[in-house]
Amino acid sequence: MPRSRSAPRFPTVTADTLVTVDFTPRARVRARPPGPYRRLLALPGARAFTAGNLLARLPMGMFSVSAVVMIAGTRGSYALAGAVTATGLAATALVAPWIARLVDRHGQARTAVPATLFAALGSLALVLCVRYGAPDWTLFAAYAATATTPNTGGMSRARWAHLLQGDPDALHTANAFEQAADELCFMLGPVLAAFLCGTFFPEAGTLAGVVLMVAGVLLFAAQRSTEPPPHPRTKAGSPLRSPGVPALLAVCLALGAVFGASEVVTIAFADARGHAAAAGLVLALQAAGSCAAGLVYGAMRPSGPAARRHPWTVAAMTALLTLPLLAATAVGSLPLLAAALLVAGMATAPTMVTTMALVQQRTPKARLNEGMTLAVTGLLGGIACGSATGGWVVEHLSPAAGYGVPVAAAATALLLTLTTPTRTSHSHTDR
């Protein structure tokens, strides 16, 4: 009798062909599809440039702390140390967009390597000036020279945008991964710097940061297969003239004020209760909350366009920032404040991921590094303003009242997102 076509065909099993099936948990784990981050890092060259970028990005959280410890420890003046680091911040705000424009025009490797080496020379000059008692003005000049440090986080995001064209879900995961990396580096960097400066000698943090930065950028730049192509003759205008970008930069300014005010106020609050040494741990908890939330947010599939999600993330950030304010004013307990900051930090990464996604969408492709660096410049400017405002409130009112500054800054960012037209969120093409 002929076999029916619809009947299933089972192979004949003999003793020679008998196969034992492994039902152990290890076999079941292997059968699961890889998660979004594993798929992301499985792309050719992704792990190599990510490793180099993380190595180069870690010193960004080390240099300012190392400079303050080094200068204050040898010159006996925190005012001088703060003025020198503020000068470096101002120089970075001016120089960083220009460096990013060169990256877009001439390529990442061709621009980032010499810019990094020049910045490394500035850090080494600062060490020598401090070590050998050079005049104070040399400290300002040396630290200002470090402003040529390229925006490695922006270059990494540009690589993901180049590799993941046409895959918005994967790009969302990549942006979340980069934001989590930012939080991790700014959480570990100050701790590592303080440890090196305190354990060995005051210049140890700066010297270690220089080595990590140069090694990381060289490794990152060596991965040419994932580098976006340069745009030497682009007709694209400045990102500042792109629809929606100026409003986003204003949002970044307000968000930076949240971060700057939170740091200063938390340090003052801990110091007022006799636990100044615990301020770093409290701030690290806030960064840890943001890092964890960023990884979870990146593993989720976003619903709707980024422009529609943006007000909701900023609104969540504004709402959660009321928790530290309530903990400080109503209870005044440092452990409770730490828990409130941990929860409040969970809104930071989703907000920043969505903000940077909008910057990518609204910036011409040929000026992508410049657009993202302008966003970082806005954050830095906001951090400076928030630090100054938070310090004034702490001094003239109270440390607990200072937590009203981050809430006001986040509410300002929310107002700006609500008044920005969502139709400007379309993606740019290369021009």
Q: Is residue 340 domain-resident?
A: yes
Residues 226 and 283 in one domain: no
Output the pLDDT for position 129.
Answer: 95
Report the largest interatomic distance among the alpha carbons of the chain, rounded to a whole angstrom: 103
Q: Is residue 396 domain-resident?
A: yes
Output the pLDDT for position 217.
Answer: 95
* Contact yes or no for 397/245 (Cβ under 8 A): no
- Encode pLDDT of 27-74 as tens digits: 454 556 678 888 888 899 999 999 999 999 999 878 887 888 888 888
Residues 300 and 218 in one domain: no
Output the pLDDT for position 140.
Answer: 94
Output the pLDDT for position 11.
Answer: 45
Which of 267, 203, 252, 182 lies closest to 72 in space, CA to CA? 203
Residues 84 and 224 in one domain: yes
Q: Is residue 24 domain-resident?
A: no
Domain boundary among 185, 205, 233: 233
Q: Which residues of the chain have pLDDT under 70?
A: 1-33, 234-237, 276-277, 421-431
Residues 168 and 315 in one domain: no
The letter for the amino acid at 211 is: V
| Cα distance between residue 377 and residue 359, in whole Å | 13
CATH of the domain at 267: 1.20.1250.20
Output the pLDDT for position 409.
Answer: 95
The letter for the amino acid at 274 is: G
Output the pLDDT for position 32.
Answer: 64
* Contact yes or no for 405/277 (Cβ under 8 A): no
Which ranges of 107-167 does DSSP label H, i.e. alpha helix?
A: 108-131, 136-144, 152-163
Output the pLDDT for position 10.
Answer: 39
| Cα distance between residue 223 and residue 155, in whole Å | 12
**What are the tokens at 26?**
């290890």
Residues 229 and 292 in one domain: no
Residues 274 and 409 in one domain: yes
Residues 229 and 315 in one domain: no
Residues 229 and 259 in one domain: no
Output the pLDDT for position 124.
Answer: 96
* Helices and strands, number each (H, E), in the chain: 19, 0
CB atoms within 10 A of CB 72: 17
| Cα distance between residue 42 and residue 307, in whole Å | 29
Domain boundary among 233, 268, 294: 233
Global pTM reads: 0.77
Domain boundary among 233, 249, 281: 233
Total domains in the fold of the chain: 2
Q: DSSP 3-state helix, strand, coil percentages of the chain (rounded to 5)? A: 80, 0, 20
Domain boundaries, position 122: 36-233
Residues 149 and 209 in one domain: yes
Residues 270 and 147 in one domain: no
Q: What count of Cα atoms within 13 Å lies in the side-chain half-sphere of residue 192?
A: 18
Output the pLDDT for position 1.
Answer: 44
The letter for the amino acid at 349 is: A
Q: Is residue 11 domain-resident?
A: no
Residues 213 and 256 in one domain: no
* Contact yes or no for 178/148 (Cβ under 8 A): no
- In whole angstroms, what separates CA 123 from the centre of its chain? 22
Q: Is residue 25 domain-resident?
A: no
Q: Is residue 4 domain-resident?
A: no
* Contact yes or no for 37/299 (Cβ under 8 A): yes
Query: What is the crossing angle of helices 368-396 and 245-272, to 10°?
Result: 40
**What are the tokens at 349?**
């990464």
Which positions ≥6 away from 118 have C-beta within 8 Å? 145, 148
Output the pLDDT for position 184.
Answer: 85
Q: Which residue has the tokens 């004949």?
A: 12
